[in-house]
Structure 1
Amino acid sequence: MENEKKNFTVLGSETEFDGVLEFTDDLKINGRFNGTIIATGNLEIDKAAICTVDKMAANSIIISGNVTGNIEAAERVEMCNGSKVKGNVTTARLRIADNVDFEGQVTMLEKEPDVDLFSVASDEFKQSLILKSDTEN
């Protein structure tokens, strides 16, 4: 079902949303958002947008505007030129452009090794991590 189209929703510049927002498709926020975002789709924060969240979680998050709160992205977070981000970021890949005002901590997610953590000795597990990281570069 790869040719199945995803919906793309836009919260316009005049929109103000307070609460919990959950979605599976793609969303672009141009206005104001306060609350929690829990998504499996992709999220884009426009340069005019102002978001205050306790948690913003999505597959990938592109920020051009102003975000205050913790950010989690399974795949990637991108902070574009001129954006302001205040909060902790957890993601597998991170790109921060020039002229970004970022205040917070970053935690990088690593892909899980192809070995069952509970079935091997700790030395074997460490070796599998070393071998996996050598092959990824």
Structure 2
Amino acid sequence: MMRKKYKFDGKVSTIICKGAVLGGDFNAPDSARIDGEVKGGVVVKGLLILGEKAIVNGDIEAEAAMIGGTVNGNIKAKGKVQLMDTAKVMGDITTEVLVVDEKAVFNGRSTMSGEAPAEEKPAEEKQEEKKEPKKRGRKPAEPKEEVKEEAKEEAKEEAKAE
């Protein structure tokens, strides 16, 4: 399966600066950086960069996201989501690739959408498989010649001692 890789061209078309508060949904036609606060959903058609002091109280949808601030909502991205050391996410994440830095806080569920999930077997079949041990084609290993010789010598010594 060929994966679509998101390529960031280094340009950010929309910026919500530190101290700015947006009361409502935010939509950007390209990449965006948020350093302020958004009280609503965020939809970005490119890369979303969420700064360390940024706060989003709503769901996020983007091609890819680098999260450094606080998100109280779900994140959905087609590409990679990276939670930086300063990130705090309270919600579920659905993405192809998820990277969580060491000190990031993530309370929610993650779903990796890169590969199709394996078909689940019904619970009854799973229990039946557990009951029947699998048989292996190998026979137990024969003891090495040295071990056999030692056992013979011990048996001879015991016979003499009697």
* TM-score bin, normalised by smaller chain: 0.7 to 0.9
Quote the residue 1:21 is aligned against.
Answer: 26
Per-residue deviation, 1:6: 5.2
Amino acid in the other structure paired with 1:104: G
How many aligned positions are there? 109
Q: Which runs of 4+ in 1 moved over 4 A?
A: 4-7
Residue 105 (structure 1) aligned with residue 109 (structure 2): yes
| CA apart distance, 1:5 | 8.7
Alpha-carbon spacing, 1:67–1:7, altered in 2? closer, same or farther (3 Å): closer
Please identify, of 34-43 and 103-112, the stretch whose mean Cα deviation from structure 2 is larger. Answer: 103-112
Structure 1 residues 104 and 27, CA gap change in structure 2 (3 angstroms): same
- Root-mean-square deviation (CA, aligned residues, Å) is 2.0
Structure with the larger helix share? 2
Q: Which of structures 1 and 2 has the bigger CA Rg?
A: 2
TM superposition shift of 1:90: 0.2
Report the CA distance between 1:33 and its aligned residue: 0.8
Distance 1:7 1:49 in 2: 16
Paired AA for residue 64 in structure 1: G
Map Cα deviations across residues 58-81 of structure 1 (whole Å, 9 max, x no partner).
Answer: 000110111110000000100001
For structure 1, the 5+ residue unaligned runs are 113-121, 123-137
Pick aligned residue for 1:69 from 46, 69, 73: 73
The structure with more strand, counted as a fraction of residues? 1
TM-score, normalised relative to structure 1: 0.73
Structure with the larger RCO, 1 or 2 (CA within 8 Å, 6+ apart): 1
2:39 aligned with 1:42: no
TM normalised by structure 2 equals: 0.62
